[in-house]
Structure 1
Amino acid sequence: MLSKLKTETKKGGHCTKKLLTKWKSSDLNLKLGGAKRKLENQIGIEKKRRKICEIECAKKKDVIKKLERQNKQIAKKLVNKTKRQLRKQGSKKYAKRHIKYMKKNLAETANATVSLLQSLDLKVTTLCLADKFGNKVELKCDSDIQKQNKITVEKALYLKDTLCISDRSYKQLSKNCNQLPRLKNVRKCSEEINSMFSIYTFDDMIGAWEPLNNKITFLIDQISKDKCDDPIPNHIGIKISGDGTRIGKRIHCVNITFRVIYGNYLSDEQILAMVRKPEKYKFLCKIFNPIVANLINTITINNNNIPLKYYLGADMKFLNEMMGMGACSSKYSCLWCKCPSNERYIHTKIWSMTDTTQGARTVDEITKLSSQSKTKNMSCVAPPILPFISVSNVIPDPLHLFLRISDQLVLQLIQILRHKDNVGKNVKVVDMSKCKNISAFEHFINSLSIPWSFYTTKESNQIQFRDFTGPEHIKIQKNINFDTLISWHPKCDCIKWLWEEFTNIISLMKTDGVDPQVVDTRARDWVCNYSKTFQAKDVTPYMHVFMNHLSQSLTLHGQINNFSQQAMEKLNDKITSLFFRSSNHRNTEAFVQVMQKQNRISYLNKLCKDDIKFYVNCKRCGQVGHNRRTCQQNQL
C-alpha cells in the first residue's frame, strides 16, 4: 500500500486523492496489533452496557418519585387526623401559631371592652375571660396598670431617625422589647411619609431638590391647622437661605433651605436642595431654576387669599453670589448701597438701603450694570438669581454680624500681643514659652474650658490659630480682663470700651420694641471709635452693614432675629452627621436618603416633641440644656 501511495504521489494531480477515497470506501482489513483490536472490542461492549444501565436508572427514579408522593400524601393524612384529635382534647395542645392568634384576638376584645367602659366613666377592676372550651381567666385591672401605652409607630420612627438606629439593631430591640412596634410597620410608616414629599435629582449635577411650591403649601396647611385659634396674619413671610459647607474634608456641598414666618410663629428650617458643588453663581443659577419655577404669590386659608412675601437671608458671601455682586474684597462690595471700600469708616455719611439718592441699589440697576465693563459696573457681575426679591427684602444675618466683628476684635487683640512679644506675621517661632503675652492669652482661653491653642505649620513654622465659635465668643466677652492682659497698652481703656459696647449693642438689638434710632447712633459711635483706636482700613464690610443697614432693617422688618442663620448652621451639622451615619455615600442616592430622613424628622417633630424630649446634661455644672462647651460657669 505504501508503494502504491508513493507512485501516485509521483504522478501528481488528483491521483493521491482518488486513491485515498478508494481506500476509504472499500472494506479493507488492516493488520492491527492483537492487543489494540481487543481493546476496541471491549470499548464497544462497555458502551452497550452503559446505555442499558442508564435506561434502568431512569425507570427506578420514576418509581422513587411515585413512592415519595405517596408518602407525602400519607403523612398529610396522619397529621390532619392528629390535629383533629388534639383539638377535641382541648386548647392546651394547639399549635403555637394558633395560640398566638387566639391571644391576640382576646387582647383586642379586652381592650375594646375596657375603652368602652371607660368612656362611660366606669372603672374596670377585674376582667373574666372564657374561651369556647370553658376555660376561664381572671385579670386584675389596677388604675396604674390599666393604661400601658404601647409606643406608636410614629414615635418609634422618630426615635429611629433622630438617633440613627439601623434596621438590624432596631429589629433586635423590638424582639426583646414588646412595647416597640415591628420593623415592617416602621418601614411602612417611613414609606408613607416619603410619599408626601416629591424629591427630584439633577441631570448634570450630583444632588437632589424639591419644588418650593409644594413645600410651602404643605407646611402652611399644617401651621394653619395648629394655629386655627389665632388670627390670620396680613401676610406670610417665606425666608429663603443657603450656605456652603463641607461634608468631611473633600465633599463641598451647598444646602438650600427656607422658613415660614406665620405672624409671631417661626417654623423649623426646611431643606430644599443638596448639591455637591461649591458656592458659586453659575451653580446657584442651576440649583434655583427648577426650585423656583412657577412660584405662587398667594395662598388661601379659610377662604381668604393671603399674600406671600419672600425674603433672602444668609451670610455676606452667599448674598453677594445670589444678587450677582462681586466678592467681599471688591471695591463696591455692599449689595445694599454703593459705598466704596475706602469710605466705610466715615460715620457721618449716611448710606441707605431704600433711598436711591443716598446710594441705595435696586434689582433693575444691578441687572443693567452687570452688562457694563469692570470699571463702570460698580461690582455688579451678573443679574440677580431671584429678581422677584427686592434689595430691601435681603436681610443681613445677625449671627454672622456678631461672629465676624467678634473675630476682628480678637484678631486685633492678638496682633497687639504679638507686637509686644516681637512676633510678626513672617517670624518663625520655635519656642512658644518665650512669648509671654501670647501664652498668657492662651492660658486665659484654656481656663474657660475652650480647647484652643496657637500652633505652627510644618511648612512655614508661622503662628496660626482657629476662629472661635458663637458660644466661645460669648464666654470670652463675659470673662475677659484687659487689666491683666494689656494693662501696659496706652489704648487699653478704648479697647475695653469697644468690647463692652459691642456686646451691649448686640443685646439691645435682640430686645423686642427697640428704637432703631438708638441702635443707629450707638453703632456709628462704635465704628468711629474703632477706626480711631486701630486703623481706618480695618473697618470690614460687616462693620459697614452694622453701622448703616442694621437700624434700617430694624425699621423695615421689626425684629430681625427671625432671620438669623443659627438654625441653618445647626442644620448643616445635622446633614453632615446624617450623611455619614444614615446613607450609603453613593453620590445622588445618598443626598436623596438624607433629604428623606430630614423630611421625616421635621414632619414627626410636631407629633412627637411633646412626648419625646432629648436632654443634654452638662458635665461641669450638672444642669440640663447645655453641654460642657456652652457652659457659662467659670472653671475654678
Structure 2
Amino acid sequence: MLCLSQCILDAVEEEKENMFHPTDQIKLKQVKFESYNDLYDINFEQLDIMGEIKRIEAVVKSLDRNHISREAYRSLARIEHSIPREEAVSTTRQRINIEMRKNIPLTLVDLLQPTIFEPITEEPHITDNAVITNILESIGILTPETSTLYIRISGDGRNVGHKVKHVMVTMTLLNDLNGLQKPDNNYTLVLYPGAESYESLKNALTPLISDLSILKEKGFDQIGGNHWPVELFFSSDWKFLSICLGIKAANAQHFCPWCDCSKDEINTSTKTINKSMDEIKDNYNQINGHIKKPLFYMIPLQNWVCDELHIFLRITDRLWELMLSDLRREITNEEIWKEKILLEMQRLKITFQFWREKNSNNLSYTSLMGPDKLKILKEFNLIAIFQSTERAIQIQELWNQFNELYILMQNMQTTGETFRYKAQTWLNAFLAPSKGHPNRSNFVRGMYQIQDVTPYIHVLVNHSRVY
C-alpha cells in the first residue's frame, strides 16, 4: 500500500503543473484504500503533533459537555474512522485529570453524611501570587493594619443543562466596587453537583466555615508581613440565604431573616433588625421561624444582604402579576388583552409569549431577564392595554415610583433616611385604599391589598436602607 501510495504521489507531483495553475498550490494530503473490507488511510503531510493534541482535547471537551458516554463514542468511532480513536481520547482525558488535580486539589465530600476534616490550626495566609496581586490591585491605597478588607460570600444553586444542578459558593472583595461584576474578581470556593439543601451545604462547607471563623478572628496575614483586618458579608437570593441562616422559607408565617415580622403585619414599614447572630446561633429553636443553626454564624446578621437584583426581579414579577389581574377584571375576553400585550412587547422588541399548561390549563408566559423587565417597567405603555385610562395611570405611577426606588438603591450616595421615606411612600401608594362610593362618579379605586405584599417588598421597605 505504501508503494502504491508513493506512485500516486509521484504522479500527482509530475502532472499537477500541466493540469492546474501554479498559484493553485495543489497538494495531495491523503489517499484511502479498501481491501477485503479493510480500510487504509495514507497521509502525506508531516504529522502536526500539537494540532493533533488540541484536536483530541477538543473531542474530550465536547464529550464531557454533551454527556456522551465512552461506549457511545466507541460506537461512533467504529463508523467514522476519521475521528480520534477512543483509546487516544481516554488517555488525553486521564492526562487532563492529572493536571487538574495538581493545579486544583479537590476534596471528595459525601453530601449525605457529616464530613470530618482535620482541624485547621495554622493562621490563614495569602500564598498565591495571582491572588495577592489581584487583592493589592483591588484595595489600592488601603493601609495594612488599619484598613479593613470587606469580603462578600455569595452562593446560589443553578441548572447546568436540563437535568444537572450545581451549587456554587463564591467570594469577592467589596473594597473595589467598580470590579464587583468582573469575573476575575469573583473566586469559586465551593462547587458541587446537586440541589441546594441545608444538609448538603453543611457537609460541603465544613472546611470553609472553619476558615472563615479564623479569618474573621485573625484577619489576613500577607506574605511579607502585612496584616489586614477582615469584615465578612453574605449575599444571595432569598432561598439560598434562608437555607444558610436555618430559617423557614419565604412563605412561612415568620419569614423574615432580620426581624420578628409575621405575615399578619407584613404591611408594616417600621421594622428594624431586631435579631442578632449570637442569639440565633445559641437559641435558634426558641426564635420564631428558625429551625436550624446558621451555617455562616461568624457573619453578623446586619451583614447578611438580600441581593438587590433579586429584590428588583421578584417585585417586578409581583407588579406584573397584579397588572394582569387588573386586566382580567376589566376585560373578560382574555384573547383581547393578550393580543394588546403582545403588540406592546413587539413595539419594545421583547420576545414574549403566552401559552396554556397541558395538565392544569393555567395561563403561563415567558419569564423575562432583568434588562427586559427594567425596559417594561420604564417604557411599557399601559394606556394602550387598559380600557380605563385612569387605572393605567395609577399603575404606571406605581411602577415609576418603584423604578425610582431601584435607582436609589443602586446609588451609593443615597442616605438611609431618604430611602426609607421613598420606600414608605411607595408602600403607601401600593396599599392605597379606595376613595368614595363605588356607585358615584367621584369613586377612585384603590390599588392592592395587604395579602399582595410579598416578603421581598417587606425587605425593600424595612431593611434595604441598612445596606
TM-score of Structure 1 vs Structure 2, range by shorter chain: 0.5 to 0.7
Deviation string for 1:28-76 (max 9, x for gaps)?
xxxxxxxxxxxxxxxxxxxxxxxxxxxxxxxxxxxxxxxxxxxxxxxxx
Structure 1 residue 195 corresponds to structure 2 residue 102: yes
Stretches of structure 2 that go unaligned for 5 or more consecutive residues are 1-49, 63-93, 433-446
Distance change (3 Å), C-alpha of 1:280 and 1:271: same
SS state at 2:288 partner: coil
Distance change (3 Å), C-alpha of 1:262 and 1:191: farther
The corresponding residue for 1:623 is: none
Q: 2: distance between equivalents of 1:259 and 1:489?
A: 47
The corresponding residue for 1:309 is: 231
Superposed counterparts of 1:101-140, under 5 Å:
none
Q: Which amino acid aligns with 1:337?
A: C
Q: Which has the higher helix share?
A: 1
TM-score under structure 1 length normalisation? 0.51
Structure 1 residue 281 corresponds to structure 2 residue 201: no
Deviation of 1:399 after TM superposition, in Å, equals 0.5
The corresponding residue for 1:462 is: 362
Q: Which amino acid aligns with 1:299?
A: F
CA contact (8 A) 1:333 1:341 kept: yes
CA contact (8 A) 1:238 1:260 kept: yes
* Identical-residue share of aligned pairs (%): 24
SS state at 1:371 partner: helix
Distance change (3 Å), C-alpha of 1:505 and 1:230: same
Structure 1 residue 544 corresponds to structure 2 residue 454: no
Q: 2: distance between equivalents of 1:529 and 1:273?
A: 43
Superposed counterparts of 1:262-411, under 5 Å:
262-264=175-177, 266=180, 268-295=185-212, 296-297=214-215, 298-301=219-222, 302-347=224-269, 350-353=270-273, 360-372=274-286, 377-411=287-321
Q: Which amino acid aligns with 1:281?
A: Y
Q: Which amino acid aligns with 2:142?
A: P
Deviation of 1:513 after TM superposition, in Å, equals 1.9
Deviation of 1:419 after TM superposition, in Å, equals 2.2
Q: 1: distance between equivalents of 2:306 and 2:136?
A: 32
Stretches of structure 1 that go unaligned for 5 or more consecutive residues are 1-152, 170-186, 354-359, 424-433, 554-636
Q: 1: distance between equivalents of 2:368 and 2:200?
A: 30
Deviation string for 1:422-442 (max 9, x for gaps)?
26xxxxxxxxxx621122012
Structure 1 residue 253 corresponds to structure 2 residue 166: yes
Deviation of 1:189 after TM superposition, in Å, equals 11
Which residue, 327, 349, 366 being the options, matches 1:417?
Answer: 327
Deviation of 1:247 after TM superposition, in Å, equals 2.1
The corresponding residue for 2:344 is: 444
SS state at 2:229 partner: strand
Distance change (3 Å), C-alpha of 1:545 and 1:503: same
Distance change (3 Å), C-alpha of 1:194 and 1:306: same
Distance change (3 Å), C-alpha of 1:346 and 1:166: same
Deviation of 1:515 after TM superposition, in Å, equals 2.0
Deviation of 1:201 after TM superposition, in Å, equals 1.7
CA contact (8 A) 2:148 2:229 kept: yes
Deviation string for 1:258-288 (max 9, x for gaps)?
1123455546222122222222212211121
CA contact (8 A) 2:166 2:194 kept: yes
SS state at 2:285 partner: coil
SS state at 1:392 partner: helix
Distance change (3 Å), C-alpha of 1:462 and 1:259: same
Q: 2: distance between equivalents of 1:451 and 1:254?
A: 29
The corresponding residue for 1:29 is: none
Distance change (3 Å), C-alpha of 1:534 and 1:257: same
Q: 2: distance between equivalents of 1:314 and 1:277?
A: 18
CA contact (8 A) 2:237 2:310 kept: yes
Equivalent residue pairs, number: 355
Deviation of 1:481 after TM superposition, in Å, equals 1.2
Q: Which amino acid aligns with 1:231?
A: L
Identify which range, 195-204 or 222-231, moves more after superposition: 222-231
Q: Which amino acid aligns with 2:207?
A: P
Structure 1 residue 510 corresponds to structure 2 residue 443: no
